[in-house]
Chain A
Amino acid sequence: MHLAPLFRWLEHSALGVFTRSLGVWSYGIINLAHILGITLLFGSILILDLRLLGAWRHVPLATLSRPTTTMAQIGLVLAVSSGIPMLTVKTTDYIGNPFLLIKFPVIALALVNVWLVHRSKAWRAHLERDLQPAEQRRLAQGAALSLAFWLTAITAGRMIAYW
Chain B
Amino acid sequence: MTWILRSGLAAALMLVAGPVIAHHGWGGQEEAVTSLTGTVVQGVSLAGPHATMKIKVGNDVWDLTLAPPARTASAGLKEGLIPVGATVMVRGNRNLDHARHEMKCIYIKQGSNEYHVYPDRE
Interface of A is mostly: helix
Write out the residue numbers on chain B whose beta carbons fall within 8 Å of the beta carbon of A28.
49, 68, 70
Tell me, yes or no, whether B69 is within 8 Å of chain A by CB: yes
A27 in complex: contacting residue of B2, B9, B47, CB < 8 Å: B47
How far does the Cβ of B21 sit from chain A's closest Cβ, in whole Å?
Answer: 11
A161 to B19, CA, bound (A): 10
Q: Sorted from nearest, which 5 A-B pairs have the closest CB atoms?
A: A24-B69, A20-B47, A24-B70, A90-B48, A24-B73
Q: Which of A72-90 contact B (CB under 8 A)?
A: 89-90
Q: With A24-B69, A27-B69 in contact, do A154 and B48 touch (Cβ < 8 Å)?
A: no
Binding site for A on B (CB under 8 A): 1-2, 5, 9, 12, 15-16, 19-20, 22-23, 45-49, 52, 68-70, 72-73
Contact (A89, B47) CB under 8 Å given A24-B69, A24-B70, A162-B23: yes
User: Chain A contacts of B1 at CB under 8 A?
Assistant: 54-55
Binding site for B on A (CB under 8 A): 19-20, 24-28, 31, 46, 50, 53-55, 89-90, 93, 151, 154-155, 158-159, 161-162
For residue A155, which residues in chain B have a CB less than 8 angstroms away from its CB? 15-16
Is the CB–CB distance between A161 and B49 below 8 Å? yes
How many whole Å from B93's CB to the nearest CB in chain A?
A: 17
A20 to B9 Cα, complex, angstroms: 37
Chain A residue numbers with a CB within 8 Å of B72 are 24
Contacting pair A55 B5 (CB below 8 A): yes
Residues of A within 8 Å of B46, CB to CB, are 24
Q: How far is the CB of B38 from chain A (nearest CB, A)?
A: 20
**Whole-angstrom distance between the Cβ of A99 and the nearest chain B Cβ:** 11
What distance in Å separates the Cβ of A86 from its nearest Cβ neighbour in chain B?
9
**B23 adjacent to A25 (CB under 8 Å):** no
A5 and B15 CA atoms in complex are apart in Å by 34
In the assembled complex, the CB of A78 is this many whole angstroms from the nearest CB of chain B, namely 19
- Rounded to whole angstroms, the CA-CA distance of A100 and B49 in the bound complex is 17
Contact of A50 among B5, B23, B45 (CB under 8 A): B5
